[in-house]
């Protein structure tokens, strides 16, 4: 028990930093739970419960970024929460299935979107505009696509979640003119809420290893607090390149596991 705590607390800190800078906490925390002997599905739900603390830590640390974008948060939050409910129910009803075979392609697409947004950021233009005063029909179509995409990411995070943060970053990067630090903060808070809703469902419908959630969650809170501060000082282009490369690496890894 003490050995598990000694492992999971520092792992949580690292996972929290990775989550709130690059959106890939599960690359660190989920394998750690598997390594201490937790079965895959229960490791998944336990990981989701612990990740709630990342949302809390990043919310405390991101007040500067959130202050100017409360309206944007209100738009994103309900969609991720609704999606999380859908994804959590799917996980409990169909815990594996062919969904794993399409996940690598979603993550690959997210990495590509992040890379393509670098040039547009450098040029000072967002990848897409939601301004209804220009080309209103096209804007409505884009808005519907964004709504569907954010809802899907919420569902994905409730279901499995690996690189769900990357997907959300890619969507917000491609559809807003906000700086990385701002839409990263929106991602952290909205997915934190998504994890909270999923945890409430899992608490009644599945089995969460709460004694492991505590040390991992405390580490995730610390890492979640540190991450936004790191994002403020690292150039946006560098962050996007790093996130893209991590996404490509994870996509390849999951593709190999799903098909070979």
Helix axes 180-205 and 236-259, enclosed angle (nearest 10) = 40
Q: CA-CA distance, 24 to 243, in Å (whole number)?
A: 9
The pTM assigned to this predicted structure is 0.85
Q: CA-CA distance, 142 to 133, in Å (whole number)?
A: 13
Please determine, for residue 5, whether its predicted confidence score (pLDDT) is greater than 90: no
* Contact yes or no for 76/150 (Cβ under 8 A): yes
252: which 2 tokens? 């390849």
Q: How many domains does the chain have?
A: 1
Lowest mean pLDDT among 58-62, 153-157, 216-220, 223-227: 153-157
97: helix, coil or strand? coil
Q: CA-CA distance, 260 to 252, in Å (whole number)?
A: 11
- Average model confidence (pLDDT) across the chain: 85
Q: CA-CA distance, 223 to 242, in Å (whole number)?
A: 18
* Contact yes or no for 21/230 (Cβ under 8 A): yes
Q: CA-CA distance, 202 to 73, in Å (whole number)?
A: 25
Q: What is the pLDDT of residues 114-172, one digit of tens each?
A: 888 776 555 554 444 434 444 455 677 878 888 999 999 998 888 877 778 888 998 88
State the CB neighbour count (10 A cutoff) for residue 115. Answer: 18
Mean pLDDT value of segment 16-26: 89
Q: CA-CA distance, 82 to 181, in Å (whole number)?
A: 25
Could you tell me the residue range of the domain that residue 133 belongs to? 2-259
Q: CA-CA distance, 163 to 249, in Å (whole number)?
A: 11
Q: What is the pLDDT of residue 120?
A: 58
């Amino acid at each position: 028990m003490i050995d598990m705590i000694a492992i999971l607390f520092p792992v949580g800190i690292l996972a929290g930093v990775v989550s709130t800078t690059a959106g890939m906490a599960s690359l660190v925390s989920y394998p750690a739970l598997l390594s201490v002997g937790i079965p895959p599905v229960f490791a998944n739900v336990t990981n989701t419960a612990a990740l709630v603390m990342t949302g809390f830590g990043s919310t405390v640390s991101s007040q500067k970024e959130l202050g100017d974008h409360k309206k944007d948060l209100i738009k994103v939050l309900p969609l991720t929460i609704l999606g999380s409910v859908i994804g959590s129910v799917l996980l409990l009803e169909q815990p594996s299935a062919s969904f794993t075979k399409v996940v690598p392609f979603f993550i690959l697409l997210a990495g590509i979107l992040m890379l393509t947004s670098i040039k547009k950021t450098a040029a000072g233009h967002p990848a897409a505009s939601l301004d209804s005063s220009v080309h209103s029909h096209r804007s409505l179509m884009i808005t519907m696509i964004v709504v569907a995409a954010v809802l899907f990411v919420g569902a994905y995070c409730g279901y499995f979640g690996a690189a769900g943060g990357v997907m959300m970053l890619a969507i917000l990067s491609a559809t807003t003119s906000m700086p990385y630090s701002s839409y990263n903060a929106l991602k952290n808070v909205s997915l934190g809420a998504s994890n909270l809703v999923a945890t409430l469902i899992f608490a009644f419908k599945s089995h969460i290893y709460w004694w492991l959630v505590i040390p991992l969650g405390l580490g995730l809170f610390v890492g979640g607090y540190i991450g936004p501060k790191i994002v403020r000082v690292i150039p946006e282009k560098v962050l996007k390149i790093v996130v893209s490369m991590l996404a490509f690496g994870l996509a390849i890894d999951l593709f190999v596991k799903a098909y070979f």
